[in-house]
Amino acid sequence: MADIVLIIHFLYVLFVVGSLPVIWVGAYLQRRFVRNRWFRFLHLGAILFVVAESLIGVTCPLTVWENQLRQIETNSSFIQHWLHQIIFYNVPEHFLTIVYILFATLVAATFKWIPPDSRESTKLSAVDKISR
């Protein structure tokens, strides 16, 4: 069960970190999905959640849950070993907080550089698709 929580945690990190280059490359290639409001605001909210946790000194709930489950399990699995190598670093907490804030600032700046579609243009494009 702890491995499942770890995989979910890894996917969350992958979404937060991986979405930014996907947005940039998608914008360069003129892909419309990178301007999807839901996707963009979910991405921004995900990194802001991490920043808020870090600023108030709260441990990620997924980390807490996984650690509680690991106390029950006795063996270290292959999944646990490699995903921990990827998403956990042995650096001071204040360093991570700075990295999170800088990354969130970059995500927010991307809203200006590559703005999501406005609601009106999204509705209009849906109407255009129907009329075609």
For the chain, give every domain's residue range. 2-131
The whole-number average pLDDT for the span 79-96 is 78
Q: Which residues contact 87 (CB under 8 A, 6 or more apart)?
A: 9, 10, 13
Q: Per-residue pLDDT tens for 2-58?
A: 889 989 999 999 999 999 999 999 999 999 999 999 999 999 999 999 999 999 988
Contact predicate 42/59, CB 8 Å: no
Closest CA relative to residue 102, chosen from 20, 3, 6, 34: 20
